[in-house]
Chains A and B, each alone.
Chain A
Amino acid sequence: MENRLFVCSSPHLRDNVTTQRLMLDVIIALIPSTVAGILFFGLRAALVIAVTVSASVLTEYLMRKGLKREQTISDLSAVVTGLLLALNLPPSIPLWIAVVGAVIATGLIKQLFGGLGQNFMNPALGARVILVVAWAKHMTTWTEPFVDAVASATPLSLLDATTTATPVEGSVWYSYLDMFLGRVPGCIGETSALAILLGFVYLLIRRVITWHIPVIYTGTVALLTWILGTDGLFTGDPLYHVLAGGLLLGAVFMATDYVTCPVTRKGQIIYALGCGILTVLFRLYGNMPEGVSFAIILMNIVTPLIDRHTIPVAFGGEKRVG
């Protein structure tokens, strides 16, 4: 056999899609939100983004090197994590806290558990939750859009104030239009619903995600906040709840994280319903205005359980006993 041929098991043909390309698609889908954040909150926001992305990539690089594993930064997942973290931080966040967040996300939650695909919760959200608990004040100091001034309240904290029956003196409700465009205080990437929806449409067109999780999650929140209004059943303002806070960013970009959401359609529906119900519970009855991060992370942790109980019946296996 002088003519040595290469032999392996079929299939001998693979689709062009790569993990790297999927990550790149997520980055592209985040461009509108990134641009909107920089537009509304200025160069300070750009600085936060640059810092978390570099810190995330550097953390991954150093940890892989330190653990003597092959380098993986080229898969772009560290960039995605860094970017998502920045978009979930207030623009005025001290940069050192942003760095700590990136190290927690990529170093602790992702790499210590084995790297890409092994984390049990969304790294960016996990880091955000730790930052919220550890540096509550910095994480809830908001900036007014277009001006470098501290904002009195975000759309969500306004809502929280009214539900606790002590309205903030002289505060003005934000208009739906301002909230849709993003001209309200909030995290860098969460304020502009328009930008997030542009990214959502891109992800759908590129078939990176399906509509199920974002739509069911958002729909559940809308329905429940409408039912559970402050003035009695069916008096809530679902549109305000959908546009306020990090719901859309969370539903489109965080809850759909492949690694931490169920793989079957049935599992994804259960998961999205869970995210929605928990978000409403945290928002309406918790002592913090926002509940998206906590809700998604809790559902991330439940995901293996959902997966175990939603194993699909094989084709033609419907009538099988046992």
Chain B
Amino acid sequence: MPLKWVFHGGVSAPHRKNTAESETSVLDIPEKVVIPMVQHIGAPCTPTVKPGDTVKVGQKIGDSEAYVSAPIHSSVSGTVTRVEPMLFAGGNLVMSVEIKTDGKQEVYEGISPPEIKNREDFLKAVRSSGLVGLGGAGFPTHVKLNPPKDKVIDCLIVNGAECEPYITSDYREMLENPDGIIEGIKLVLDYLSIPKAIMGIEDNKPKAYKLLKEKAQNDNRISVQSLRSRYPQGAEKTLVYALTGRKIPSGKLPADVGCVVLNVNTVAFIASYVKTGMPLVQRRVTVDGPVVNQPKNVLAPIGTSLQTLFDFCGGFKSTPYKVLMGGPMMGIAQYSLETSVIKNTNAILAFDKKEGDLPSEWPCIRCGRCVEACPMNLLPLEINRLVLANKIDELERYHILDCIECGSCSYSCPSKRHLVQSIRIGKDAVRRLKVNRN
């Protein structure tokens, strides 16, 4: 079915879905895991365990009083060895819990399916599960599912676009657990009284599209839509527009246009939690990149080190030069292989110098390719020029805060200018300027 709404811009990045046919392998339990207390957008958790404590799988080890936060659970059974700030995927030190595993993977006694009778129970259960958005930034799901009273949600958007190169973690979920996804969608529709759900899958995944379409047949509330394979199709704003024609206003959220967007893995996890009561303690990670010997999809406990995952995939062909958490368009480069897989880690990728190096910048020739590529209709070249000239007060005229940092501008630039990189600096400066003004 052709799409009615096609977002402006974007880039046709290479797909490189090398692991599409790699069925998920289960990682052997690592000797230790390091579980950071920040795995979501919102307030960090405080550890509820101390060195010497024994913990079991699914036992809560960190929580926060704050609403915008999600509890954190142990992914293994074993003994807590350290509770202190440790190197985090973001490059900073974050309070983390290190657990030496005993290999038994004993399940915590308190684990049982949650009792859900109404909307409140459901939201509470989602919070207790520790669920955060498994596709993107890791926003706590219970917050997303509970928008302010004046915002009526009439459409659940299920994100199966997976537009980043390399990553096939969502794709494997769609192939291996389609019933779970449909089950999760139904739960959300039922408990939140949302009349319909639209699932979007990029047209480079015809197998997943066909399968989900078939599975969705017996519930007329759920429709499955094929999306144009174009990065950043899976970004919230472009996705909601492509599937509903609604434009999320500048500075607003999907809820402002009556939508809530959940990743396929996120909805599938809701179904699994409601059935078993086992919190979010593991996830599927695509391990790939030109220097990885055996690229794979791996089901790994949260807190597994990147080194362990790469070892499981046959190690490296040559010394990695750059290692990413996430895809090549928006992923975060890692300082060390000691950092851990967290709840929203969908991929880890390793590159050699040839692919991983930062290209040197040439002068801007104003070719306008960044303007063509920007899904938000911005002028990246002008913002770049102003940021470099430190003209911060002029940046708002160019709508800098609307940038979704998808990186399409930098990708498309023939002069290899660091456009989105400078826009990030500019956004920061504009926010600080605004704070000072008030």
Contacts and interface: CB of A to CB of B under 8 A. Distances in A.
A66 interface: no
B67 interface: no
Task: Tell which of B13, B323, B410 has the most Cβ of chain A within 10 Å.
Answer: B410
A10 B165 CA distance: 13
Contact of B237 (A1, A307, A315): A315
Interface stretch (B73-81, B265-273, B411-419): B411-419
Interface in B224-248: 237, 241, 247-248
Contacts of A149: none
A235 interface: no
A118 B365 CA distance: 8
B435 interface: no
Nearest to B257: A316
Interface in B157-210: 165
A22 B367 contact: yes
Contacts of B420: 9-11
Given A12-B333, A13-B13, A315 B322 contact: no
A115 interface: yes
A65 interface: no
A135 interface: no
A264 interface: yes
B322 A10 contact: no
A6 B377 contact: no
A319 B405 CA distance: 22
Task: Tell which of A75, A117, A315 has the most Cβ of chain B within 10 Å.
Answer: A315
A6 to B, nearest CB: 5
A287 interface: no
Interface string B367-407: 11101000111110110000000000000011100100101
Interface string A1-37: 1010111111111110111011000000000000000
A259 B414 contact: no
A161 interface: no
Interface string B303-325: 00000000000000001111110
B85 interface: no
Contacts of B101: none
B250 interface: yes
Contact of B247 (A17, A18, A316): A316
Nearest to A320: B250
- A interface: dominant SS: loop
A29 B336 CA distance: 48
B356 A6 contact: yes
Interface in B4-38: 7-8, 11, 13-14
Interface in A105-127: 115-118
A73 to B, nearest CB: 13
B382 to A, nearest CB: 7
A94 interface: no
A93 B321 CA distance: 56
A172 interface: no
B249 A319 contact: yes
A116 B363 contact: yes
Contacts of B91: 7
Nearest to A208: B367
Contact of A115 (B356, B363, B424): B363
A11 B405 CA distance: 9
A261 B415 CA distance: 17
Nearest to A1: B336
A1 B339 CA distance: 11
B249 A316 contact: yes
Contacts of B399: 311, 313-314, 317
Contacts of B323: 5
B248 A258 contact: no
A22 B413 CA distance: 11
A315 B377 contact: yes
Given A258-B368, A314-B377, A8 B333 contact: yes
A116 B332 CA distance: 33
B329 A10 contact: yes
A10 B335 contact: no
A6 B241 CA distance: 36
Contacts of A3: 319, 336-337
B415 A19 contact: yes
A10 B250 contact: no
A313 B247 CA distance: 13
Task: Tell which of A3, A13, A307 has the most Cβ of chain B within 10 Å.
Answer: A13
A260 B369 CA distance: 15
Nearest to A5: B323
B379 A263 contact: yes
A42 B113 CA distance: 89
A17 B249 contact: no
A231 interface: no
B321 A10 contact: no
B337 to A, nearest CB: 6
B414 A18 contact: yes
A77 B356 CA distance: 28
B371 A263 contact: yes
A167 interface: no
B371 A314 contact: no
A316 B402 contact: yes
A18 B382 CA distance: 19
A117 B250 contact: no
Interface string A286-322: 0000000000000000000001000111111111100
B366 interface: yes
Nearest to B330: A10
B247 A318 contact: yes
Contacts of B139: none
B259 to A, nearest CB: 13
B356 A12 contact: yes
A264 B379 contact: yes
B229 to A, nearest CB: 15
A118 B415 CA distance: 14
B110 to A, nearest CB: 38
The 4 closest A-B pairs by CB, nearest first: A11-B407, A314-B399, A314-B402, A117-B363
14 contacts: A3-B319, A6-B333, A9-B424, A10-B420, A13-B165, A14-B413, A19-B362, A22-B414, A115-B363, A117-B365, A117-B366, A264-B371, A314-B378, A317-B250
Given A9-B333, A10-B328, A320-B250, 19 more contacts: A3-B319, A6-B357, A10-B330, A11-B328, A11-B330, A12-B324, A12-B356, A15-B412, A17-B412, A116-B363, A117-B364, A258-B368, A263-B382, A264-B368, A311-B398, A314-B250, A314-B378, A315-B402, A316-B250
